[in-house]
Structure 1
């Protein structure tokens, strides 16, 4: 599952973790991304210590047997983590799905967690690049799901997603235990407070106008979002 930050990505990881047949992994390239870029993110040292910092090693791990004897491996990936030079050939051997959220909603949420933000931080350009790569190599657009559709109609949208990736529908995906989960990244205490306090999908919330500098970033991101959104389930 490819998304940017603040895209409902952790709630979706929770949803799939509720399936009895599924193991989930949380942003396995995060430490490798921080090492490659030198960026100063919240809890940087803890993140770096918690995961392999070599992208090739990450690929070896995520392409191995599904942990826990499960049949399905849900891997939550951030598109902006795939910096230049990181291997991408492994994507040809998995089912790639793209999770969208409007730039305005992403930025309104992201700005609550970090004082600075750039277009690169929210992943839209990288997500569109990966989308194009999958489409070109498979000859068809990959599956796209919009977080607003999930929040408005969780059962309908998630059951359509399962059908699109040839999984049986499991109503357990609509609910999960609150609090931290064992597969959460160590960065969870900084980023996941809303998910910790949830046990299912909530309806879309209202957001006010963005400050001018964030609105400018939203305008930069919108063409990437709109192009992928045209392929979303139910479009």
Structure 2
């Protein structure tokens, strides 16, 4: 059986893990947590939390990862396979031809919110770290192939059921209310980096309310958010719109 392969391309600190929880809670869906992360760390040499554990636990050959994601069997032979991807893991040397085998969705978020959250775990940040430049390039590639839903995280949190229903309709599968709530705690499907990043998700039982305010950033942090804002605004113009 060839599963429905759903690839959500997000930046970090962008609702991506909560979204993975929602899809895994469907009951018919397997999930893969950042399958290109090991290759990304080995190739870039970046010192991320649990770096050596991530590399040891994952597949560092991107070609093998791509072949499995595009053509392999889903974990547990589930009919739906949700793949949580970080767009910045898609390094420039990776041939993106295999991505056409997936049903691709972009998940974007106001870069001011992303940067404010990101620097709670890491002292430095660049535009490439938060994935928006890579999302723009990916969108340009994918839109030439067909429809590419773009989901804005802030708007999603104001109407999660409406957005999930629309995505399920686009994919040709039934929505289930199970996607809106899940048991707290870790999952076997979580990456080995989860203890460093997933504390809030582990405590969650559903999607949080959208933040009321945008944080004030200073210095280099503000510069990074400002550099990414035109990309965010461009992608937001083509976002999935849900009627209130």
TM-score range, shorter chain: over 0.9
Matches within 5 A, 1:1-235: 1-63=8-70, 64-136=72-144, 138=145, 140-205=146-211, 206-234=213-241
Partner secondary structure for residue 24 of structure 1: strand
1:56-100 CA distance string (max 9 Å, x none) = 111122220112121111000011001121121111111110001
Map of 2:5 onto structure 1: none
Deviation, 1:152, is: 1.0
Deviation, 1:207, is: 4.2
1:126-180 CA distance string (max 9 Å, x none) = 01101110012x1x44111111122111111211121122221111000111111
Partner secondary structure for residue 169 of structure 2: helix
Deviation, 1:188, is: 0.2
Q: Tell which deviates more after alignment, 206-215 or 22-31.
A: 206-215
For the 8 Å contact 1:80–1:121, the answer to whether it is kept is: yes
CA RMSD of aligned residues (A): 1.2
For the 8 Å contact 2:112–2:215, the answer to whether it is kept is: no
Moved over 4 A (4+): none
CA distance in 2, matches of 1:28, 1:129: 20
Number of equivalences: 233
For the 8 Å contact 1:141–1:231, the answer to whether it is kept is: no
Q: Tell which deviates more after alignment, 182-191 or 220-229.
A: 220-229
Give me the TM-score of the superposition, normalised by structure 2.
0.92
CA distance in 1, matches of 2:43, 2:215: 35
For the 8 Å contact 2:115–2:221, the answer to whether it is kept is: yes
For the 8 Å contact 1:131–1:141, the answer to whether it is kept is: no
For the 8 Å contact 1:119–1:217, the answer to whether it is kept is: yes
CA distance in 1, matches of 2:217, 2:147: 32
Uncovered stretches (5+) of structure 1, i.e. residues with no partner:
none
